[in-house]
Structure formats: C-alpha cells, structure tokens
C-alpha cells in the first residue's frame, strides 16, 4: 500500500495517491462516496438562484491539493479549498458550473459503482435546477 501513497494512520499524513489517469475519476467517485458531500440550497439573495456544491474533505492539506490539481490538469476547473470552522480538516469545493463538469466525469456511466444515497441527491438537485431554468426562461 505504501507504494501507491497509502499508509497506516493516514488521515493527516496522506498526500498524493498514485492512480493511473484512466482510473482517476473512478477513484474520485469512491473518494466522494467516502469523504465527500453534495449540498444544494436556494440562495436567499435572489429568488431564482439555486446553488449546489460538490465537496471533498481531508484532514491532510497536502492530500486535498492533489485532487484539486489533478482535476484542474484533466478538466481545467479549479474549485476552491477552505479550512473547516473547527480547523480539523480541509474542503475542496466545486460550485454549480464546475460541479456540472466534474459530476459528468465522475458519473460517466450508469453502470458505475456508486453510493446510491449521494447519487440520488445529485439527480434530485439537477432536476430542480432544470425545472428552475425552464421556469426562468418562460419569463
């Protein structure tokens, strides 16, 4: 395991994982299922603004930089890194437009293994977004 970048008690020391590029988005889907989140909300500042974010979490600052750089190299989207309020971990977040690009690559096939609960949350959010855009376009 040490050969690919995994060690015991890795939470704060993990860095880059050596994943072949052709499997990177499969790895990232697994990372998202285990240490990621997806959330959405209506932005109270604007009636028609529906926001959503795809996020990855790690206690290791060096590890959270690795997927950010890899996604940028492969897709040209950057995301942004924030430190959690309790300073125990870092979050790599992709907002709406970047999330759409990333999610398309992570869920490139209906045959992929995935955590159903998170996937259904994403599908529900995308349906809300599509319905909202259709309503706004009618104006």
Query: What are the pLDDT digits (tens) for 91-111?
Result: 999 999 999 999 999 999 999
Query: Is the pLDDT confidence value at 6 over 70?
Result: no
Give the whole-angstrom CA distance, residue 114 versus residue 45: 34
What are the domain boundaries of the chain?
Answer: 2-138
Q: Please tell me the predicted confidence (pLDDT) of residue 87.
A: 76
CATH code linked to domain 2-138: 3.10.28.10
Task: Indicate the DSSP class of residue 40.
Answer: E
Q: Please tell me the predicted confidence (pLDDT) of residue 27.
A: 97
Q: What is the mean pLDDT of residues 56-76?
A: 96
For residue 91, what are the contacts with CB-CB under 8 A and spacing of at least 6?
Answer: 55, 56, 57, 64, 81, 82, 83, 84
Give pTM, 2 decimals: 0.87
């Amino acid at each position: 395991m040490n050969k690919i970048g995994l060690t015991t008690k890795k939470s704060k020391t993990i860095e880059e994982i050596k994943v072949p590029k052709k499997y990177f988005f499969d790895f990232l889907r697994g990372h998202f299922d285990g240490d990621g989140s997806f959330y959405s909300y209506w932005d109270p500042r604007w009636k028609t603004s529906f926001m959503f974010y795809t996020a990855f979490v790690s206690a290791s600052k060096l590890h959270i930089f690795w997927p950010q750089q890899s996604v940028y190299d492969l897709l040209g989207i950057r995301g942004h890194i924030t430190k959690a309020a309790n300073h125990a971990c870092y979050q790599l977040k992709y907002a709406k437009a970047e999330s759409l690009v990333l999610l398309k690559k992570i869920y490139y096939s209906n045959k992929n293994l995935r955590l159903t609960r998170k996937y259904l949350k994403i599908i529900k959010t995308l349906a809300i977004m599509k319905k909202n855009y259709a309503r706004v376009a009618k104006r």
